[in-house]
Structure 1
């Protein structure tokens, strides 16, 4: 009897992660509008909205790029979910609810903002050499140029604002050929701040003056022939601005948004919304434990 092998059951990672997110989402879901919670035929749902939302966040947490593979893992783990196509539709339908949950959580957890950083990141649907023959979201996506990586690509551009704690406060999706400066004013108007840092792609004196009139100090690095201008051009501000690049990299590691492999705009919107809600949850968890909001949780 003493030589018998002792086996301890190990908790299923997917089940544990789903339960963790259910505890976070449940109290917030109860404050959503009744039109969402008590919509038509809601009593006939075999799987609750909260479970679907938790599954969506779990997929981001576990960094699974494939919807099909993750659905198979849910079934193998004993999670009761609809069949795959129905599950995907439920995820798309709950995108708006997830946005409302994110706003509640951000309003509840966000500390006082010292400064904000604005930047954009590419979302590539197909490579540039195939862009002329691409049929994915033709008429919506477009061919653009990414100056950071010095490459042309076909797809979208993700514009986002992050505060100094690591929370992404707002975001917008545009075709890849849209200039960053055209989106900046609209984004910053919806998320006002006294101090805003940007890179050279936002260099515009007229934009800077308009934002100044609205009480926002809009900083971008100066060119060499602009050093006579009355503006601080310190390396410290440049380093602070680069923090959003770390934030984008963290989101791409878990959400795979730069190469999403998605063929519908609703699917892309659902992926991005889930990714940004995960960001709020992850940053809050890091700050509570005394760590940087830009530190990526390792699973």
Structure 2
């Protein structure tokens, strides 16, 4: 049994999932076989996952299934075995992806600066770089995280988020790329068509030629901390140091909330650690299911 306040949240999550399932999610996991009607529905599986992550901080599939067995069996009597639950959950990877996009679209805050975007990425670690990669090799590879001084196998979670005043930014789009892919490459492929936008990023986005063309063609600019020029004489460095430091501090202060956004995700869902994942679909459920769990409370 669970307390009444959490029971009401469980009902609300289930109601939201059912509404969105009938609208479009069902097309992401439609079955064309004689076994289309299951005792435990896809809506119930998604509800169990989202509720367990959002309200109970159960982050692995085994923990989620065990919690459901202990406390939610009266709500979901056809829960079944852990193996069956895990297999059914992985089949819903695309439904979780579409649910995340739907939640971000439906509950867009009114206080966003729609002409100002913050950019950053976060490593999702499947295993250490010292080990051999065996899981989700079609979307993961080896990368290096400079902030952690760590080589790892996994993916990067890239976020383009609208700036908000004194609040965590709200993600406009989220992209997944192999760990070795450069952040600037992702920007060029996914977000270089944004018009009339002021982007705030870190030094990895420094590329005067590309962003000069972007400003001329799309009226969009990239603001980054000043990056030193290799081979520049010391006199020029000293002359421009004060102005460059002030500008870099101002840009860093504006883009700092995107780091808080990632820290918030980690704290709420432990999304950065994906060592328990055993398949590509499982990794996608881990990513988009955790993000959906953090934003499902917007429905309350």
Q: State if a TM-score over 0.5 links the two structures.
A: yes
Match of 1:57 in 2: 50
* Contact residue 117 and residue 164 of structure 1 kept, 8 A: yes
Residue aligning to 2:296: 281
Distance between the aligned counterparts of 1:71 and 1:13, measured in 2?
A: 21
Q: Structure 1 residue 43: deviation in Å?
A: 5.8
Q: 1:34 to 1:254 in 2, by over 3 A?
A: closer
Q: 1:64 and 1:92, CA in 2 relative to 1: closer, same or farther beyond 3 A?
A: same
Alignment of 1:100 with 2:98, yes or no, is yes
Contact conserved, 1:194 with 1:216, CA < 8 A, in 2?
yes
> Which range moves more in the overlay, 146-155 or 71-80?
146-155
- In structure 2, what is the equivalent of residue 202 of structure 1? 205
Deviation of 1:269 (Å): 0.6
CA distance in 1, matches of 2:202, 2:31: 44
Shift of residue 36, structure 1, vs aligned partner: 4.8
Matching residue of 1:216 = 220
Q: CA offset at residue 119 of structure 1?
A: 0.8
Q: Secondary structure at the match of 1:44?
A: coil
Give the distance between the partners of 2:81 and 2:109, measured in 1 at CA: 41
1:269 equivalent in alignment to 2:284? yes
Further displaced range: 203-212 or 72-81: 203-212
Deviates most, 248-257 or 207-216 = 207-216
Match of 2:121 in 1: 120
Partner SS state of residue 101, structure 1: helix
Q: Name the counterpart of 2:67.
A: 73
The separation in 2 between residues aligned to 1:190 and 1:277, in whole angstroms, is: 26
Who is 1:48 aligned against? 41
Pair 49,139 (structure 1): closer, same or farther in 2 beyond 3 Å: closer
Contact 2:194/2:220 (<8 A) preserved? no
What corresponds to 1:11 in structure 2?
A: 3
Work out which of the residue numbers 84, 87, 95 in structure 2 matches 1:86: 84
Partner deviation per Cα, 1:142-179 (whole Å, 9 max, x = no partner): 22221222222232222222222432222222222211
Distance 2:81 2:194 in 1: 39
- 15, 19, 43: which one pairs with 1:23? 15
2:118 touches 2:160 (CA, 8 Å); kept in 1?
yes
How far does residue 244 in structure 1 lie from its aligned partner after superposition? 1.2
Equivalent positions of 1:138-149 (< 5 A) are 138=137, 140-149=139-148
Unmatched segments (≥5 aa) in structure 1: 1-8, 289-299
User: Is 1:180 the counterpart of 2:172 in the alignment?
Assistant: no
Matched positions, count: 274
Greater RCO (Cα-Cα under 8 Å, separation 6 or more): 2
Q: Are the structure 2 counterparts of residues 206 and 34 from structure 1 closer, same or farther at C-alpha, using a change threshold of 3 Å?
A: same
The aligned counterpart of 1:161 is 160
**TM-score if structure 2 supplies the norm length?**
0.78
Asked if 2 retains the 8 angstrom alpha-carbon contact of 1:122 and 1:157, the reply is yes
Moved more, 87-96 or 134-143: 134-143
Distance in 1 of aligned mates of 2:228 and 2:28? 54
